[in-house]
Amino acid sequence: MTASFLTFPTFDIERSGVRIHGRIGGRGAPLLLLHGHPQTHAIWHRVAPALADRFTVVAVDLRGYGDSGRPAADADHLAYSKREMALDALAAMQHHGFERFGVLAHDRGARVAHRLAADHSAVVERMLLLDIAPTLAMYENTSEAFAKAYWHWFFLIQPPPLPEALIASDPVRYVRGVMGGRHAGLAPFAPEVLAEYERCAAIAGTAESICEDYRASATIDLAHDRIDLAAGQRLVQPLRVLWGEHGAVGKAFDVLALWRERAADVSGRALPCGHYVPEEAPDELLVEALAFFSSPPHSDHPGHPGATP
């Protein structure tokens, strides 16, 4: 992991009995970073130090991942709904005194960010999402090519306990299989960061949490999305979407067209990488993020007094 990222202070908060773990560093307008599957906040190690020169960066582990808590499953998958995860992220930002902020999010974290912006539009100033289309649109427009590339979407939502048992039997193999099976294999991942993903995947309860995350996305999260659509609700924040030109999302979906159905102000493009944008194309991502989030620090965003790494 990039050494300077390790100097960012860690923090832990509790919301509704669930511990949320993260790091904070930098000074300036607040910027929330949300990671994807099967990773942790460590995905940002190549971009967070440079972002912290301009922003107060808050990188959290989603519930069920990293060193955050792993609440028990429930019949309706509510504990792992993106609505609950969004409330975790909001609580983390409010804990540090931030009532409005930008969001940079990848994969599962980007789905959490979508729900955060939909449910709490006043707190999200602008949002940069990496390598996703809207969840409902992806399920409703699944093709053979997408199903083959994103096989884990359909494996993880199978009834317990089979998916959990298979993952828990060899969590390192699961992490390496999922991440290494994409465009660039395991080459983009720093050995110490890959080891961190593997450590966290082996924490008791992780297999159950991962499955519940995806079961929620295929059930309660879709119900929430359909309610938004029926009400004509669209995201009002400036939204930029980037995806990997070698990844499945851009090949299987018209990413910008689908987001323009869900948001009023959308821009974006493909980057020369696969799915894991923060680790495969950190320099290109930094250029994009600094340009998109660039604005003078607001008077109500002085930065966290103890955050400078």
Q: Which of 45, 96, 275, 304 is catalytic?
A: 275
Catalytic (active site) residue 275: yes
| DSSP code for 104 | E
- β-strand 10-15 against 266-271: which pairing, if any? unpaired
Cα–Cα distance for residue pair 6/21, rounded to 1 Å:
14
Q: Which of 37, 41, 106, 107 is catalytic?
A: 107
AA identity, residue 179: M
Cα–Cα distance for residue pair 198/289, rounded to 1 Å:
28
Residues 6+ positions from 134 with CB-CB distance below 8 Å = 114, 225, 258, 259, 261, 262
161 preceded by cis ω (within 30°)?
yes
Could you tell me if 246 and 183 are in contact, meaning their C-beta atoms sit under 8 angstroms apart?
A: yes
Residues 6+ positions from 85 with CB-CB distance below 8 Å = 62, 63, 112, 115
Could you tell me if 241 and 129 are in contact, meaning their C-beta atoms sit under 8 angstroms apart?
A: yes
Tokens in use for 301? 């965003």
| DSSP code for 162 | H
Catalytic (active site) residue 304: no
Cα–Cα distance for residue pair 270/65, rounded to 1 Å:
27
Active site residues: 107, 275
